[in-house]
Structures are given as structure tokens and as C-alpha cells.
Chains A and B, each alone.
Chain A
Amino acid sequence: AQSVTQLGSHVSVSEGALVLLRCNYSSSVPPYLFWYVQYPNQGLQLLLKYTTGATLVKGINGFEAEFKKSETSFHLTKPSAHMSDAAEYFCAVIRAGSSASKIIFGSGTRLSIRP
């Protein structure tokens, strides 16, 4: 079975500082991993995904994540935070080849940006 743990329900950084949102997963088979962002009163928007191949994945809005199998991690980073990055971020895992019903979401991390 798959599971996802997002460390820190709330992260606060200063504008221009590094953003690091942590995600650890558990999967007995090769996983596909996703990061979604949810702005207030909106649905979930895909930031980036890892399926196979290059372990460093670049997404939209300057975000990237690195798949580290040895650490079972898929942390999300952005070199310089912007006020518009304030939102809730969800890490998700799905077993390769599984249907959408099997996607497992983390509990979310709310990112706040200090001016």
C-alpha cells in the first residue's frame, strides 16, 4: 500500500527566501509522485510530477522536486519565494499503472510568505 507524509502542516518563509516543503512516501512498488497547489477558493493545480526518468523534476512557477528513492522523499523547493506562492500544497503518490481512484494525498502544507 502507498502512503504519503507531509512534514509540517504550516511553513512560513520570507519573501525571497528558499521554499522547502517536505514529502516522504511509502510504496512497495515504483510510485508516481505529484505535487499539487491549491490557492484559496480554488481547485488543485498540478505543479509537477515524477513518473520515470530524470529524478529532478521541474514544474511551473519556478518549483522543482527531486525524487530520492533511497530516502523515499520527494521534497518540493523553490529558490526564491514570492508572495503569490502563498497557498496549500499537496504531495500525492500513486502506484504506476493504477487508476485515479488509488491516488493517495498527503494532508497538505500551508505555505505563508512574510513580506
Chain B
Amino acid sequence: KAGVTQTPRYLIKTRGQQVTLSCSPISGHRSVSWYQQTPGQGLQFLFEYFSETQRNKGNFPGRFSGRQFSNSRSEMNVSTLELGDSALYLCASSPGPEGTGNTIYFGEGSWLTVV
């Protein structure tokens, strides 16, 4: 079955603009998580959604937000972009929020460059 799909794959934005990234989880998966990956900070957790509810949020400013739709698809939004927001944004899905060894599957990521 299809994996986690993220769109767009690459985008360039100007400082101060906003951006919306989209993620379609694996069919049947109801939990979606977002991560930011940068060379300096590594992989950092942004937020997790399950059944349209945000269950956990990482240590990021309020400019970073997200949501999940009834079909489990998720979007994340970053407003008032800063140069430091340039990163690879990874979406991951898993069957449910509570793990019993549930594996987290990642998408290809969305490369955001802020100029």
C-alpha cells in the first residue's frame, strides 16, 4: 500500500511569508506526527495528531501550527517565516497514538528554504 505522502517536496519562501505543508498518512493509520530536521538541531518533534485532536506539541513557537482532518490527512502551517525555519519537515504516521511496538513510518519530507 502507499506510504506516507508529503507535498510539496521542495519550496522556497520569503521571510515573513507563511507556508502550509500537507501530509497523507498510510491508509488506516490515524496518528500523524511532524518533525523538523536541521543540520544543527537534528530531528525535533513538532506535534502529533490523532482523530483530529492534537495530542502533543513540541517546544516550538506559536507560529508553528497544524491540524488533522477526518480522513487523517494533516497539514502544518508556519506563519511569519524566519530564516531559521529553513529545514526538512518530516511527517510520520502510525496506526494509533499508543504504542505497542507500533512503528512510525516517515514520508519523504518537504524541503523548505526561507530566503
Interface residues of A (CB under 8 A from B): 32, 34, 36, 41-46, 49, 51-52, 90, 94, 96-103, 105, 107-108
Contacts and interface: CB of A to CB of B under 8 A. Distances in A.
Contact of B48 (A41, A42, A49, A100): A100
Nearest to A106: B42
B101 A96 contact: yes
A43 B107 contact: yes
Indicate the size class of the contact surface on chain B.
20 to 34
A49 B103 contact: yes
Contacts of A108: 42
A100 B55 CA distance: 10
A59 to B, nearest CB: 12
B61 interface: no
B99 A98 contact: yes
Nearest to A49: B103
For the complex of A and B, the 6 pairs showing the least CB-CB separation, nearest first, are: A51-B101, A101-B56, A101-B48, A44-B106, A43-B106, A99-B97
Interface in B66-115: 90, 92, 94, 97-109, 111
Given A36-B106, A43-B106, A43-B107, A100 B33 contact: yes
Contacts of A49: 101, 103
Interface of B: 4, 6, 31, 33, 42-43, 45, 47-48, 50, 55-56, 58, 90, 92, 94, 97-109, 111
B68 to A, nearest CB: 13
A108 B38 CA distance: 12
Contact of A99 (B56, B90, B109): B56
Nearest to B45: A101
Contacts of B99: 32, 94, 96-100
